[in-house]
Amino acid sequence: MAVLVGKKAPLFEADAVINGGEFVEKFSLEQFIGKKYVLFFFYPLDFTFVCPTELIAFQDKIDEFEKRNVAVVGCSIDSNFSHWAWLNTERNNGGIKGVKYPIVADLSKTISANYDVLAGEYYTNEDGNLEFEGAPVAYRGLFLIDKQGVVRHQVVNDLPLGRSVDEALRMVDALEFFEENGEVCPANWQKGDEGMKATAAGVADYLSKH
């Protein structure tokens, strides 16, 4: 599994569905560079079980992300037509109606591969035929990208394990705190807590108070 933290986030142009039902072509994260943080997350498939709980949970906190100048963007290996159908299915029927942030279509699986979250890989068998080993879907990868397009945080969950939206918000807060104050964020730091100077004296001072 590649570690992208500290590196430029892989860019792409792909079909996407925005605003809950509007098709767009050549959607790219590049539009946010210099303007917004990006929380870019992958999920395995539309019309599944854990996935709608995550996508709806991100939508439920979308105001909190927007207050922090964060663009939330989802992505799976489904087509934009599948995304559209899921977005227009009522929640009591397994849909995610009401989700408004962009959902990218990675039908070719190249975006998942570039972020190294594809839950399997292609290989050539002894007969020279291309085969796929594993699950041809994305793990639950999440990437916090700063305004310069650099990945500052990533977490990748296996398929059965849903993510914490509150933890994603905490990491945004921690990044903003560091950028604004120049102090680092110790374990279990929450917005409103004091930071710590990245020196031996700073660590000693912090630990003496806690």
Distance from C-alpha of 127 to C-alpha of 1, rounded to nearest angstrom: 28
Distance from C-alpha of 201 to C-alpha of 209, rounded to nearest angstrom: 13
Distance from C-alpha of 117 to C-alpha of 136, rounded to nearest angstrom: 10
User: For tokens 């962009």, what's the residue?
Assistant: 102
Cβ burial, residue 124 (10 Å; 0-12/13-18/19+): exposed
Residue 99 in tokens:
């989700």
* Tally of CB atoms within 10 A around 186: 16
* Tally of CB atoms within 10 A around 1: 9
CA distances from 38 to 32, 68, 77, 98, 157 (A): 7, 10, 19, 20, 19
- For this structure, is 51 an active site residue? yes
From the list 45, 51, 75, 151, the catalytic residue is 51
Give the catalytic positions in this structure: 51
